[in-house]
Amino acid sequence: MAPATNGRVIFAKVPKDFPVPGETTVYDTTQTIDIDGVPLSGGFLVKTLVLSVDPYFRGKMRTPEKKSYFPPFTLGEPIESHGVGVVLRTDNAEVAVGKYVYGMIPHQEYSIFPNMQRLNFIEKNPKLPWTVFVGAAGMPGQTSYYGWKELSQAKKGETAFITAGAGPVGSMVIQLAKRDGLKVIASAGSDEKVELMKQIGADVAFNYKTTNTREVLEREGPIDMQIHPKGCRYWDNVGGEILEAALDNANTYGRFIECGMISGYNTGPKGIKNLNQIIQKSVTMTGLLVFRFHDKYEKEFYEVVPAALASGGAEKGSNTGKAVVIVAED
Amino acid sequence: MAPATNGRVIFAKVPKDFPVPGETTVYDTTQTIDIDGVPLSGGFLVKTLVLSVDPYFRGKMRTPEKKSYFPPFTLGEPIESHGVGVVLRTDNAEVAVGKYVYGMIPHQEYSIFPNMQRLNFIEKNPKLPWTVFVGAAGMPGQTSYYGWKELSQAKKGETAFITAGAGPVGSMVIQLAKRDGLKVIASAGSDEKVELMKQIGADVAFNYKTTNTREVLEREGPIDMQIHPKGCRYWDNVGGEILEAALDNANTYGRFIECGMISGYNTGPKGIKNLNQIIQKSVTMTGLLVFRFHDKYEKEFYEVVPAALASGGAEKGSNTGKAVVIVAED
């Protein structure tokens, strides 16, 4: 068989501010791969099925000198992110052809992996498309689930304020909060998203671009818990103002969970000026990074969440706002 | 006996920014009291011995309309704070003459209390002056002790960064940290205080007015724990810059304890811009107010701390920087 094109998304240039597709990343079709003959050297060949596209990409589009808790993308090489693939050929007896794998996958149609170090096997669920496994049943869903289990200390009757509530993290948190009997206040940036947040159970849902967050929280609070999936965005004025409003309307012993991935820089003109509220209200603010809790909750997550999603109990909207690339049909 | 003068410190005027003694507070000697004859109406008469003077006073020097977790001082009435007094006369069989009481006491030489609601009995320790009972063995010491017990999660070999380390809260924390085997980095605002912090055990002590905090933390960190007794002072630029430097030099899973009392307002031009570090480093930032933990630790505190102070094991400097008023000799 003639070599196949191996389409790739290359990290071509560090962005000045916003990434520019075609310039900072380039779709490249010059590489080919001999699917049947390429040497595997003890590894295995994976066909990419779906890839996640996440806000944290911006933080990885940097020069290697800039320090961060995660490594940068490599200039001239494909970007990579969470994705799902299927094993086409193998030199490794423990990785059978036809197995599905989830983990960090380069943004290219075919990849050779030397081992399973950055991958896990996952089981196909006939009721769920693979896209769900990079959303509600993938890293964003894990962020919600781990954070809820580890940090929320949720009690029935409390009030939670969830920003970015129509995104893959926030929508899952709304559902976890409603399941546990909390009142949910949720915000997002469009009326469609507001509608969605209501459908999945938010008691109070509003568009922060057209409604004053502070007024909503003053009316519907105080809030016992805040989950800010775009915690990263404090350099963005809106994020800062929302956190300030949330702190001003925190209940005593409020838990503030700052999650989401982070821009590699913070350039905004304004900081958070009312951290004294943390003292006044005995608030605990904790940073949540999903990978800190994999060891503790990953097994439970895969036992519980895909089945719950497949049963229809929680899937509504859980993948909305999640950008994915469907690379190939399974 | 002729009525005695009952000297009082009156809250006379809300300060514009800094309090002005003689204007915002006035020492008044116009009131007299008949010590032997004043009716007690079921209560008891207390002679004030020592009174604490604390940074949180500023937050109470406000108009009642301004909301806060603590009530304001009353205009035209004496200010009040933690203090120690001795019972001179009594109508209450459970409050014997000669007993010592600790609690919220008006800034006047003699006060009549209707009951013990805002007071506790304390035992005299022949080796400790009463001033210690509004310092290391009083509210500031409790702040340190409760915070250390409840929030520090201190582990031997970790590094703690303690600001205001020569003050009554910070100096106690330095000693608790050293007792538990931590490396202590401590800052304060004068060379005398630096010397003191070294004497009580700080491994690295520096004057933040003449030494760059960020450079010290980059060299001596990362820091596993930060205790900021002047957490209140984020409206003060220095405080903000110090917290930002501490966040940038936090270790993974760092615990940031923001304590101290709080100004009723925050007027500073700058906020905290690097809260993304809370996420990057999985930091937990918690507000500490001493009164939240009285029920849990007060008994233990009085069993442990005055004796430890009297034994000389921990008293050095524990009261430095603590402003007190000695109202009368015992």
ipTM value of the model? 0.77
> What percent of chain A is predicted at pLDDT more than 90?
61
Question: Which chain B residue lies closest to A68 (C-alpha atoms)?
Answer: B280
Please report which confidence band the pLDDT of residue A270 belongs to, taking 50, 70 and 90 as the band edges.
low
Give me the mean pLDDT over the A130-145 stretch.
90
Of A234, A280, A292, the CB nearest to B287: A280
Give me the mean pLDDT over the B31-36 stretch.
96
Residues A272 and A143 in one domain: yes
3-state secondary structure chain A: CCCEECCEEEECCCCCCCCCECCCEEEECCCEECCCCCCCCCCEEEEEEEEEECCCHHHHCCCCCCCCCCCCCCCCCECEEEEEEEEEEECCCCCCCCCEEEEEEECECEEEECCCCCEEEECCCCCCCHHHHHCCCCHHHHHHHHHHHHHCCCCCCCEEEECCCCCHHHHHHHHHHHHCCCEEEEEECCHHHHHHHHHCCCCEEEECCCCCHHHHHHHHCCEEEEEECCHHHHHCHHHHHHHHHHHHCEEEEEEEEECCCCCCCCCCCCCECCCHHHHHCCCEEEECCHHHHHHHHHHHHHHHHHHHHHCCCCCCCCCCCCEEEECCCC
pLDDT of residue A315: 47
Burial class (CB in 10 A: 0-12, 13-18, 19+), B64: exposed
Of B266, B282, B292, the CB nearest to A276: B266
* pLDDT at residue B256 greater than cutoff 70: yes
Q: Do B287 and A292 touch (CB under 8 A)?
A: no
Give me the mean pLDDT over the B71-80 stretch.
95
Asked if the C-beta of A260 comes within 8 angstroms of chain B's C-beta atoms, the answer is yes
Asked if the C-beta of B241 comes within 8 angstroms of chain A's C-beta atoms, the answer is no
Residue whose pair of structure tokens reads 């004294």 in the numeric block: A276
Please report which confidence band the pLDDT of residue A273 belongs to, taking 50, 70 and 90 as the band edges.
confident
Residue whose pair of structure tokens reads 């001239």 in the numeric block: A76
Biggest CA pair distance of chain B: 70
Asked if B174 and B136 touch (Cβ cutoff 8 Å), the reply is no
Q: Within a domain: residue B128?
A: no
Asked if the C-beta of A88 comes within 8 angstroms of chain B's C-beta atoms, the answer is no
pLDDT of residue A18: 85
Which chain A residues are Cβ-neighbours of B69 within 8 angstroms? 280-281
Lowest-confidence pick of B19-28, B55-64, B234-243: B234-243
Please report which confidence band the pLDDT of residue A238 belongs to, taking 50, 70 and 90 as the band edges.
low
* pLDDT at residue A265 greater than cutoff 60: no
Residue ranges making up the domain that contains B90: 4-122
Please report which confidence band the pLDDT of residue A199 belongs to, taking 50, 70 and 90 as the band edges.
very high
Neighbours of A205 (CB within 10 A): 26
If contacts are CB pairs under 8 Å, which of residues 172-231 in chain B contact chain A? Answer: 231
pLDDT of residue B229: 80
Residues A272 and A154 in one domain: yes
* pLDDT at residue B131 greater than cutoff 50: yes
How many structural domains compose chain A? 2
Q: Within a domain: residue A297?
A: no
Average pLDDT, chain A: 88
Residues A98 and A150 in one domain: no
CA distance B70 to B264: 9
And the tokens for A207?
């568009």
pLDDT of residue B210: 95
Q: Within a domain: residue B63?
A: yes
Residues A95 and A45 in one domain: yes
Of B231, B276, B282, the CB nearest to A292: B282
Asked if the C-beta of B260 comes within 8 angstroms of chain A's C-beta atoms, the answer is yes
Please report which confidence band the pLDDT of residue B87 belongs to, taking 50, 70 and 90 as the band edges.
very high
Task: Choose from B276, B288, B290 for mutation: most chain A CBs within 10 A.
Answer: B276
pLDDT of residue B264: 39
Q: What CATH number is attached to the domain comprising B148?
A: 3.40.50.720
Which chain B residues are Cβ-neighbours of A280 within 8 angstroms? 68-69, 262, 287, 289
Residues B146 and B101 in one domain: no
Residues B112 and B167 in one domain: no
Among B242, B221, B243, CA closest to B158: B221
Give me the mean pLDDT over the B197-201 stretch.
94
* pLDDT at residue A153 greater than cutoff 70: yes
Lowest-confidence pick of A42-56, A286-300, B302-316: B302-316
pLDDT of residue B225: 94
Of B234, B282, B292, the CB nearest to A287: B282
Q: Within a domain: residue A323?
A: no
A223-228, strands of its sheet edge to edge: A204-207, A183-188, A159-162, A223-228, A250-258, A284-287, B284-287, B250-258, B223-228, B159-162, B183-188, B204-207
CA distance B253 to B276: 14
Q: Within a domain: residue B255?
A: yes
Query: Inter-axis angle of helices A191-199 and A168-179, to 10 degrees?
Result: 30
Asked if the C-beta of A254 comes within 8 angstroms of chain B's C-beta atoms, the answer is no
Average pLDDT, chain B: 88
CA distance B320 to B135: 9
Q: Do B258 and A278 touch (CB under 8 A)?
A: yes
And the tokens for A160?
């939670």
Residues A213 and A264 in one domain: yes
Bridge partner list, B104: B82
Q: Within a domain: residue A15?
A: yes
Give me the mean pLDDT over the A62-77 stretch.
86
pLDDT of residue B66: 79
pLDDT of residue B313: 56
Q: Do B279 and A234 touch (CB under 8 A)?
A: no
Shortest distance, CA B68 to any CA of chain A (angstroms)? 8
pLDDT of residue B329: 81
Asked if the C-beta of B78 comes within 8 angstroms of chain A's C-beta atoms, the answer is no
Asked if A316 and A39 touch (Cβ cutoff 8 Å), the reply is no
Q: What CATH number is attached to the domain comprising A106?
A: 3.90.180.10
Question: Which chain A residue lies closest to B292 (C-alpha atoms)?
Answer: A282
pLDDT of residue B239: 65
* pLDDT at residue A80 greater than cutoff 70: yes
